Structure 1
């Protein structure tokens, strides 16, 4: 197909319609599953990014990139997490104009206690029934689309297409892998 063709083929329309439905339904479904933990899926993702960061601290702009959020959205969510006592906002020592988000002890505890709930929900709604090859294919297809949506590679998830990604969960722990940490491959692409 060329860009001069005006209509999408039936298979293309079906693929895009299913992707659109997935993008609409999954966040809401995850939010519902995490509601007992008093967190949204996005708040969990933000806590996860801070938990994995050095000293549980990230500059707000880096956290926005890591969580695929705009700075205004991220700022609103960080403010909400501050009210819950899960995150604090501190001036950045390296750049007096910037601020860092820092995971509090309560935030770390909330993340750790919610991690199994989140993992169960993601497995049930997305991953159960998929082979390892299908999970890899899903990751590859998502990255291919993300590369087109973020051609300037502003988001951490597209910053290093094809290489280890700063927005990917830390591979060192392999928390979702039943293998002991010593048996986890160092390269997430081998996981």
Structure 2
């Protein structure tokens, strides 16, 4: 870690960006969750898990891989999958290649719920994000966010 006295302070633009990013990180999940929960029995995190499973080969992923993909800890992913299992949207199965690992598998009711929830999620992200980016280079913004998120 660098010595704090050798680091340049943030410029006013950098400070403004950092504060705005913090507000987005706090606001956006709550706003999308509120929209999702108003119409479906699932949060945006649960929806995201179903999306990733729907895109995975055979609609299944190792729990550890799913957690990493969704930006959750393994214990956090276990709690999410437990909620989805109680609704019969996902099942857990032992991994045939590695008996120590577990797979999360999207079920037919999970597909149905995903298809029902998709319009709500789409409307929410259009309203809370993309309606506010008119005139912005969305591809460049995505590249910036990917650079920030890279390990």
Q: TM-score, normalised by structure 1?
A: 0.73
Alignment partner, residue 98 of structure 1: 101
Distance 1:58 1:144 in 2: 25
Does structure 1 residue 114 correspond to structure 2 residue 117? yes
Distance 1:18 1:129 in 2: 14
Bigger helix share: 2
Alignment partner, residue 34 of structure 1: 36
Does structure 1 residue 47 correspond to structure 2 residue 55? no
Tell me which moved more, 109-118 or 124-133.
124-133
Does structure 1 residue 20 correspond to structure 2 residue 22? yes
What SS does structure 2 have at the residue aligned with 1:96? coil
What SS does structure 2 have at the residue aligned with 1:48? helix
Give ranges in structure 1 of 5+ residues lacking alignment: 151-191
CA shift for structure 1 position 6 = 4.6
Distance 1:53 1:45 in 2: 12
Does structure 1 residue 144 correspond to structure 2 residue 143? no
What SS does structure 2 have at the residue aligned with 1:101? strand
Distance 2:127 2:23 in 1: 17
Does structure 1 residue 65 correspond to structure 2 residue 68? yes
CA shift for structure 1 position 7 = 2.4
Q: TM-score, normalised by structure 2?
A: 0.91
Alignment partner, residue 11 of structure 1: 13
Relative to structure 1, the CA distance from residue 104 to residue 144 in structure 2 (aligned partners, 3 Å threshold; closer, same or farther) is: same
Residue deviations 1:89-118 (CA, integer Å, cap 9, x gap): 110001000000001111110001101110
CA shift for structure 1 position 5 = 3.2
Distance 1:31 1:43 in 2: 10
CA shift for structure 1 position 133 = 5.7
What SS does structure 1 have at the residue aligned with 2:45? helix
Residue deviations 1:139-160 (CA, integer Å, cap 9, x gap): 011011112xx2xxxxxxxxxx
- How many pairs were matched up? 146
If asked which structure has higher relative contact order (CA below 8 Å, sep 6+), I would say: 2
